[in-house]
């Protein structure tokens, strides 16, 4: 049994399209729970989808943000092993994810989807063991044991807090390409000042809660530097400053639950980078590399290369390898596929999804699904 859980607020058209997509999936033993975050007027849903899936509407008296999913998970059928968390503008492309969930080992607490946008690129965000909320399946009991989403986050970064709690409980979070989700990603009404306010505050909370003592101040400084730069680029410095002030005012209220060193390395992606780049280096040693397409947690990539004794140089120096400089799975895989499409035979990514699937192909010490194999149409 599978329970789909999706929050919605004042987006009836998007909700309808998502229900249509869920209603087109065949062969599922499942239910759909729609969490109405105080929409005006209230959301309206059918009792049943064309494929026979029952639909339940849970009405909230206030907007709980992403934490509205907690109500859905708690209300899910007691036979549901997995809850598939979606947004009201995202849905699985096909039912291939069922086999992906059924085959997971017992220590896997969550399965990340391969999330595609309408233009054919992948969703940005997340880390090798930090999922994106619009496309992830979580074991229901693991979600509940971890306490679900923290309501204080609203939207943005709440997945990082929950992922840290799952890792703390020694649950693995994995990526499986058979779980394919299309995120239509409606951007209307998004206020960049509000987004930057939430990003700097919520990321600060995650660090204050989960970062080991020896790294905390350096990571908080990097968080501030990163989001100030983004705020300046997006003309949202006002929101950034509000968020930074909020974080500083509430920092002492965040309960410290720091991850052990090895778990922190999993959370940041450093463990994944060490394994992937280390494997590539053992398979075909390289002394120099250039970082291309730098992004989220680039420092992890650089740290893993430094530990291998690899010198990072500019592309103009004809390095032995090109290494994609982000630990965010979507941009990482997109950039790697672009490099291989254009004929590069020396490109690497610092992540190995470690799944056994015929849709994955081995290249340079890492496995990934190539663009030509099963990517959904835009």
- Least trusted range by pLDDT, from 63-72, 170-179, 183-192, 345-354: 183-192
Inform me whether the pLDDT recorded for 361 exceeds 50: no
| Residue 189 pLDDT class (50, 70, 90 cuts) | low
Per-residue pLDDT at 354? 55
Which of 233-236's residues contact partners 24+ apart within 8 Å by CB, and which partners?
234/192, 234/196, 235/192, 236/192, 236/193, 236/195, 236/196
* DSSP per-residue string spanning 214-273: HHHHHHHHHHHHHHHHHHHHTT-HHHHHHHHHHHHHHGGGSPP-PPPHHHHHHHHTHHHH
The answer to whether 2-183 and 269-368 have equal CATH topology is: no
- 159 or 365: which carries more pLDDT confidence? 159
For the domain spanning 2-183, the CATH number is 3.90.550.10
Query: What is the average pLDDT score of the chain?
Result: 91
The rounded percent of the chain whose pLDDT value lies above 90 is 85
Inform me whether the pLDDT recorded for 360 exceeds 80: no
Per-residue pLDDT at 377? 33
Inform me whether the pLDDT recorded for 158 exceeds 90: yes
Total-model pTM: 0.91
Parse the chain into domains and list their residue ranges. 2-183, 192-262, 269-368
Domain 269-368 has CATH 3.40.1010: yes
Inform me whether the pLDDT recorded for 253 exceeds 60: yes
Mean pLDDT over residues 356-366, rounded?
38
Structure tokens at 322: 């090109």
């Amino acid at each position: 049994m599978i329970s789909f859980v999706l929050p919605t607020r004042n987006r009836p058209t998007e909700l309808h399209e998502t229900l249509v997509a869920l209603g087109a999936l065949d062969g599922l033993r499942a239910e759909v729970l729609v969490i109405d975050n105080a929409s005006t007027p209230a959301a309206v849903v059918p009792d049943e989808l064309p494929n026979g899936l029952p639909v339940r509407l849970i009405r909230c008296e206030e907007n709980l943000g992403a934490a509205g999913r907690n109500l859905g998970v708690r209300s899910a059928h007691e036979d549901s092993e997995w809850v598939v968390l979606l947004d009201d503008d995202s849905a699985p492309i096909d039912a291939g994810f069922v086999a992906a969930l059924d085959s997971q080992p017992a220590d896997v607490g969550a399965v990340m989807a391969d999330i595609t946008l309408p233009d054919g690129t992948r969703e940005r965000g997340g880390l090798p063991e930090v999922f994106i909320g619009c496309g992830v399946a979580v074991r229901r009991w693991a979600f509940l044991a971890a306490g679900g989403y923290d309501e204080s986050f609203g939207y943005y970064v709440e997945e990082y807090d929950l992922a840290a709690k799952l890792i703390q409980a020694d649950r693995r979070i994995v990526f499986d390409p058979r779980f394919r989700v299309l995120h239509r990603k409606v951007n209307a009404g998004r206020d960049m000042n509000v987004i930057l306010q939430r990003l700097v505050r919520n990321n600060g909370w995650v660090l204050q809660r989960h970062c080991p003592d020896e790294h905390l101040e350096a990571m908080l400084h990097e968080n501030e530097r990163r989001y100030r730069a983004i705020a300046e680029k997006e003309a949202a410095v006002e929101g950034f400053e509000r968020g930074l002030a909020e974080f500083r005012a509430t920092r002492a209220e965040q309960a410290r639950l720091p991850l052990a060193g090895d778990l922190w390395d999993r959370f940041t992606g450093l463990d994944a980078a060490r394994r992937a780049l280390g494997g590539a280096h053992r398979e075909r040693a390289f002394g120099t590399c250039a970082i291309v397409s730098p992004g989220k947690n680039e420092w992890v990539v650089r740290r893993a290369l430094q530990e291998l004794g690899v010198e990072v140089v500019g592309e103009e120096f004809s390095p032995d390898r090109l290494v994609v400089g982000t630990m965010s799975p979507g941009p990482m895989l997109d950039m790697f596929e672009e490099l291989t499409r254009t004929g590069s035979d020396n490109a690497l990514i610092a992540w190995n999804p470690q799944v056994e699937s015929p849709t994955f192909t081995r290249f340079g010490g890492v496995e990934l699904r190539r663009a030509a194999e099963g990517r959904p149409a835009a």
